[in-house]
Amino acid sequence: MQFDFRPTLQFLLPILAITIVGLIFTGIKLHQINIGYHLAHLEKEKHKLEQQRDVMALEVASLKNPKRLIQMGGNLGLKLPEDGDIIQLKP
Partner 1 sequence: MDLAVNMNLTKLNAFQLKALFIGVTLLILLYIGWLKAYKLQVTEGQKLSDLSDNRYLRSLSYDAARGNVYDRNGILLATTTPLYSIYAEPKRLESAWVAARKINKIFPELKPKLLNKLSTNKNFVWVKRRINAADAKRIRDLRLSGIGLLEENRRHYPNYDLASQTLGLVNIDEKGMAGLEYHMDEDLTGEAWKGLMYQDALGRRIHPFIAPERTDISGKDVHLTIDAKLQAVTEHHLKEAIKKYGARGAWAVTMDPKTGEILALANLPQDNPNHPRSSHTSFRRNNILSAATEPGSLIKIATFASLIENGQLNLEKRIDTEQGIYKLDEFVVKDVSKHDFLRPAGIFKYSSNIGTLKLASKLDRKTLRDDFLRYGFGSAPGLGWQEESAGRVPQLKALGPVEFATLSYGYGLTATPLQLIRFTSAVANNGLMPRPQIIKSAPKSRRVMKRPTAKLVRDLMAEVTGPEGTAKLAQIHNIPVAGKTGTTEKWDAAQQKYDSKRHMASFIGFAPKDDPKYVTMVVIDEPGHSRFGGQVAAPVWKKIMTYAMNSL
Least distance in angstroms from the C-beta of 27 to partner 1:
16
Determine if residue 54 is left, alpha or beta; phi over 0 gives left, psi from -120 to 50 gives alpha, anything else beta.
alpha
Does 30 participate in binding partner 1 (rule CB under 8 A)? no
Number of residues lying near partner 1 (CB under 8 A): 40
Does 78 participate in binding partner 1 (rule CB under 8 A)? no
Torsion of CA 20, 22, 25, 31, to 10 degrees: -80
Least distance in angstroms from the C-beta of 36 to partner 1:
4
- Give the Cα separation of 26 and 39 in Å (integer): 20
Contact set with partner 1 (CB under 8 A):
1, 3, 8, 11-12, 15, 19, 22, 32-33, 35-41, 43-44, 51, 54-55, 57-58, 61-62, 64-70, 80-84, 86, 88
